A and B are shown apart, each in its own frame.
Chain A
Amino acid sequence: MAGKNTHDLLPMPYTEEALAHVIARVRAVQDFLGAPLALENPSSYAEFAGDTMSEWEFLARLAEQADSALLLDVNNVFVSSKNHGFDPLTYLNAIPFDRVVQCHVAGHTDHGTHIIDSHIGPVIDSVWKLLAVAHRRCAGVPVLLEWDAEIPSFEETHAEALRAREFIGGAA
């Protein structure tokens, strides 16, 4: 932005202008690569005052109109739902699950006033339950546990990853 790179997943306004902007760029990349991108929903801590649609509507329309795949991070859905005060099931109900090619789960850090997508610690049950709801509608897609810092032993991390089986019927 303005010649600088912030190296962050910044929030963006969910408007018709932004949607058209992103669709054009996703299409250009896909045309160049000759393959679809899998777009991931982010965690966010801020909402633009000028938003004219919800994130789930933005994401669904983006995937449909750019003809791209989706990488559904259910922890990100949970984090944003707490930070912005929406029902995560409303979000999931709007997702075109035929386009979802992978699901992500992760731990997060609750600061009371907001939640940070830190990828630290075990996945909480509320997020596992969201995975169960989502995965029923895109059965068979792989699930990835993200744990980027304060990583425990392999055995503990592996056991956490295998907890996915409790929620998606042994398909992990």
Chain B
Amino acid sequence: MREATADALGLHERASATPDRAQPTREIELGAAPTWTEGELGLRVQQEWFAAIISAPQDEPAPVDERSASRLITPSSTLSSLERIDIYRRGYHARLIECLADDYPVLQHALGEATFEALCRRYIARHPSRAPSLNYFGRFMADFCRSEPLPEPAFAADLAALEWAIVLSIHAPTAEAIGFEDLGQVPSERWPGARFRVNPSLKILHLEYPANAYLQAYRQGSPTVVPTARATSVAVYRTGRSVWRLELEPTLVTLIESLASGVTLEAGLAQVQASLAHEPEAEIAKKISHCFQHSVSSGLFSAISL
């Protein structure tokens, strides 16, 4: 069954407002004594200092002391220099965590808020944003999960891979799907040499866990339990303003991946047939027919060339 994501085109504006995080829950701790109390403070040096302080991990001591901080930023009548800088430090991390929570709501649900936030903080330290756009900031999350001390890192990585595929499909170019009426216009003698173009936004994921079933249960408000490992393949793609997730049987994976590689329909079907060599011939024909119809009705193909 083909399932739409809940929020279709879930484009989120990264607003200019400052994240309104609660007041600091602890006093600002200080790190090693800085060496920023000497020398000229040109524009570049000041900006680099400021950026270095605010991007320092929040669970580590502030990298400067008040004396150095006050050389950069004046205290106000209510806040010390470090406390003023810390508003930006909290904002930097809060904004990036918010961005990752936007992209990975189901991973956040699976891990729980505290574990997810801690994971995000480590991610931010390991993969600071280096692009003007935040749209691709979370692209390393699946690989990152595999290397992190999480309860089920492989499952977390699969969930992250699935959610990231949804993000990518939102931003990817797409094309209108062809239907059975388009195929009806193909002369029968041209079928073997026909080549199909798959939807340009299509990604096929090969996962160790049934992450799509978990995601669907979350979206439907059903109980979610970390599943046992079971290899699954999921297609994620967009048509118009809807993003779709489609669990693929192995036969369908073979057909779509072969046609996506540019081979003719005849060659693609031969690959499917070879993969089913152990099955009775009548069953093979039935499966191939079902696969092809399923691919077309799901909108996986965007063009046919003869």
Binding site for B on A (CB under 8 A): 1-13, 15, 17-18, 21, 43, 45-50, 83-85, 106, 109, 111-114, 116-120, 146, 148-149
Contacts and interface: CB of A to CB of B under 8 A. Distances in A.
B48 A2 contact: yes
A166 to B, nearest CB: 24
B42 A119 contact: no
Interface of B: 13-20, 23, 41-43, 46-48, 50-52, 54-55, 70-74, 76-79, 81, 83-85, 87-88, 91-92, 95-96, 99, 128-132, 134
B43 A17 contact: yes
Contacts of B78: 112-114
Contacts of B41: 50
12 contacts: A5-B132, A7-B95, A7-B129, A7-B134, A9-B16, A10-B51, A10-B88, A46-B74, A48-B73, A114-B76, A117-B18, A118-B18
Which of B14, B48, B91, B96 has the most chain A CB atoms inside 10 A of its CB? B91
A21 B42 CA distance: 12
B54 to A, nearest CB: 7
A146 B17 contact: yes
A120 B20 contact: yes
Contacts of B13: 148
B96 A7 contact: yes
Nearest to B78: A113
A11 to B, nearest CB: 8
Contacts of B129: 4-7
A47 B55 contact: no
Contacts of A13: 43, 46
A1 B47 contact: yes
Contact of A12 (B47, B88, B128): B47
B194 to A, nearest CB: 46
Contact of B95 (A8, A12, A17, A84): A8
B95 A116 contact: no
Given A15-B43, A111-B23, A146-B17, A45 B71 contact: no
A2 B74 contact: no
Please give me the 6 A-B residue pairs with the lowest Cβ-Cβ distance, nearest first: A119-B17, A1-B51, A118-B20, A113-B78, A148-B15, A46-B84
A85 B76 contact: yes
Nearest to A19: B43
A3 B130 contact: yes
A114 B131 CA distance: 30
Contacts of B134: 7
A17 B20 contact: no
B39 to A, nearest CB: 13
B48 to A, nearest CB: 6
Nearest to B54: A6
A16 to B, nearest CB: 10
B52 A2 contact: yes
Which of B15, B16, B88, B99 has the most chain A CB atoms inside 10 A of its CB? B16
B305 to A, nearest CB: 40
A5 B16 CA distance: 14
Nearest to A16: B43
A33 to B, nearest CB: 16
Contacts of B74: 46-49
